[in-house]
Structure 1
Amino acid sequence: MTTLAESFLTQEEQDALIQCVVAVEKQTSGEIVPVIASTSSEYPTANHLGGLLLGMILAICVAMVLGNEDMWVFLALFCPGYLLFSRLMFAIPAFKKLFISKREMRAEVEESALTSFYLNGLHRTRDLTGIIIYVSVYERSVQILADKGINDKVDPAVWNDVVVQITQGIREGRAGAALCQGITRCGELIVEHFPIKDDDTDELPNLIIEGQAQ
């Protein structure tokens, strides 16, 4: 079964993205890594909350139709309703969003981006010049994190404009082009402080999709 991350970009867009990273890294010693993740969390609480609320509504409505207010009848209706709807939340993630706050999604994406930064070795480049462009497809959210070497020279706040640019492009259905533009902009922001070196090597993957380097 194809994951959200695997279907997010076409093969042509993936190839273009890799070439974009290669082109930018010919100008700077920075290491830019786009990471495409299906989701930043399974949001198990939303499964249970959706099951509880919808199961309760179903039980109440059916009990009213039957004209029976007995607690045991309510429980007999609620339990299978809860199981049905909680599994529905799990099987159809789009429904789950009704029970997830924007704050929770934002926090999960931020945490997942930071975890991905370290798991994929962006903190281990020679000059501490790793940059992750993390896209969480389910949340339609983007995070950009840079390593200490870059943050010592470039105000971390500048990445916010790049995030807005990429996010807008994704919403407009041009994810590949928006990511390429974002990568190019990241290169422009760091090239003055981190120009290419004679002995520079490509230290990190140029695209990661669901943990698979490309």
Structure 2
Amino acid sequence: MKTLSPSDLVAIEAAVRKAEARTTGEIYCVVTEESSHYGETAIAWAAAVALLGPALLLLLGVHVSVPDVFATWTASDVGVAIESGIRHALIGAIALQAVLFIVTALIVSIPPVRRALTPRSLKRLRVQRRAAEQFIAKNLHLTRARTGIMIFVSLGEQMAELIADDGIADHVEPHVWDRAMAALTEGLKRGQPEAGFAAAVGLCGDVLAEHFPPRPGDNPNELPDAVVVLPKP
């Protein structure tokens, strides 16, 4: 997973300034290493693998030995032997399940493995949720004409979200941002998030310039141009 270097952050900030010079809209960029710890992924996989423990015993040919009832054993001896065999089999199965649970949980907890095994739908929901939280937390809805947009990137999931405030959403259909988001996600897939960011910012600037052209002498910079880098949750 490629992160943004200081020079990348400077280049993105310059792209934001250039785009905002053509519009009264505001572009705010946020990036995070990951949008969730996805702890439930390790637990779910560990539980699923552990449940296969008894089936694994059967596949390996492990079985409970029962004494020959036609030997000189009494009925009481046979009952005790069967009970002991079943008890040992259950203990073995439980021990195997515990080992499988712990080992699987440790393996899936390794970040690249955890990301690969986490359902894409869950990752998308977590990215969307964190993006929405940041939009409110950073007061992006408080610009004068409510013409701010936030470009949110979660590097670990290689996913991005764009949230437009009401002043923009009332005039621009959601699909208009598709080109910008496609350029951004393409950059993430290529391992070039800085290039994807710059391209997306430029395309967003084109849309904002069309619908919200600058007003000479009245175009304050209401939101910081610098990229906000969030810590892992």
Would you say same fold, with TM above 0.5?
yes
Aligned with 1:34 (options 23, 29, 36): 29
Structure 1 segments unaligned to the other structure (5+ residues): none
Q: Which residue of 2 aligns with 1:182?
A: 200
Q: Tell me which moved more, 120-129 or 92-101.
A: 92-101
Compare CA radii of gyration and give the structure with the larger one.
2
Aligned with 1:154 (options 172, 191, 206): 172
Aligned with 1:191 (options 209, 213, 217): 209
Partner Cα separation in structure 1 for residue 15 and residue 102 of structure 2: 47
Name the aligned partner's letter for residue 143 of structure 2: T
Aligned with 2:4 (options 9, 14, 37): 9
Partner Cα separation in structure 2 for residue 107 and residue 68 of structure 1: 45
Q: Tell me which moved more, 98-107 or 172-181.
A: 98-107
What is the total number of aligned residue pairs between the two structures?
205
Q: Tell me which moved more, 117-126 or 81-90.
A: 81-90
Identical aligned pairs, as a percentage? 26
Counterpart contact for 2:53–2:93, Cα < 8 Å: no
Counterpart contact for 1:49–1:99, Cα < 8 Å: no
| TM-score scaled by length of structure 1 | 0.85
| TM-score scaled by length of structure 2 | 0.79
Q: Tell me which moved more, 135-144 or 61-70.
A: 61-70
**How many angstroms does 1:60 deviate by?**
5.2
Name the aligned partner's letter for residue 188 of structure 1: D
Structure 2 segments unaligned to the other structure (5+ residues): 65-88
Q: Which residue of 2 aligns with 1:110?
A: 128
**How many angstroms does 1:209 deviate by?**
0.7
Indicate the structure whose relative CO is greater, using CA pairs within 8 Å and at least 6 residues apart: 2
Change (3 A) 1:169 1:105: same
- Map 1:99-138 onto structure 2 (within 5 A): 99-138=117-156
